[in-house]
Amino acid sequence: MNSLRTKIRMWAPPVAVIGAVLASANYGFSKRGIAAERVQELKQIGSRLSQASELITLGTVRPETLAEIKSLRQDVELRMSESAKPGVVQGQLVASARSTGLELREVRPMTEHSGPQTSSAAVFPAYRVTVEGSYRQIAEFMQACKVQRVPARVASFQIAPAVDMQGKPKGRLKADLVMESFLPKPTTQTNATGSK
């Protein structure tokens, strides 16, 4: 019996140490697995929050952008009001002709309007423009009219050699153009009941 007690005393501490090591390893592995699950959950939550943040950022307009949109809208509204004034459109056509170096002979509004003529459609006021210069200058003028403050497009044009009062060629071209401006359809105001 003495030898059994001695053996137990001798082997008890190493068995206890081995048991403690195995228990702590088991505890560590189980905690490590739980920690790995928690880390994975945190990664998924972080990914969802990042996606939500991107959606919110895309759907939110910054104050600077709002101010820019407001400024652009005011400019467009001002241009639309200017397009209803024949004098402003004529002034723009004159400025475009001068910027390309053409000799301007005539700019005048035409009484008829081109484009679709229904009560609900926009109208396209027409202007007759007569200029003299080189082919390049005439082409530049037509392009400049598209980008002027109150844009105008070429509806029709005829180019012929320019002649003086005696019918002798001047050595340059004469262009008769019909330019169209844009006039939006009038908007009708409605009151709170929805009637016009």
Model pLDDT, residue 102: 92
Model pLDDT, residue 37: 74
Model pLDDT, residue 73: 86
Model pLDDT, residue 196: 47
The answer, as to whether pTM is greater than 0.85, is no
Cα separation, 90 vs 167, in Å, equals 29
Average pLDDT, the chain: 79
The answer to whether residue 190 scores a pLDDT higher than 50 is: no
Average pLDDT over residues 27-51: 75
* CATH match for 85-180 among 3.30.70.60, 2.60.40.10, 2.40.30.10, 3.40.50.720: 3.30.70.60
- pLDDT above 90 coverage of the chain, percent: 20
pLDDT digits (tens, 9 = 90+) for 126-164: 899 999 999 999 999 999 998 888 888 899 999 999 888
pLDDT digits (tens, 9 = 90+) for 48-101: 888 888 877 777 777 788 888 888 888 888 887 787 788 888 898 999 999 999
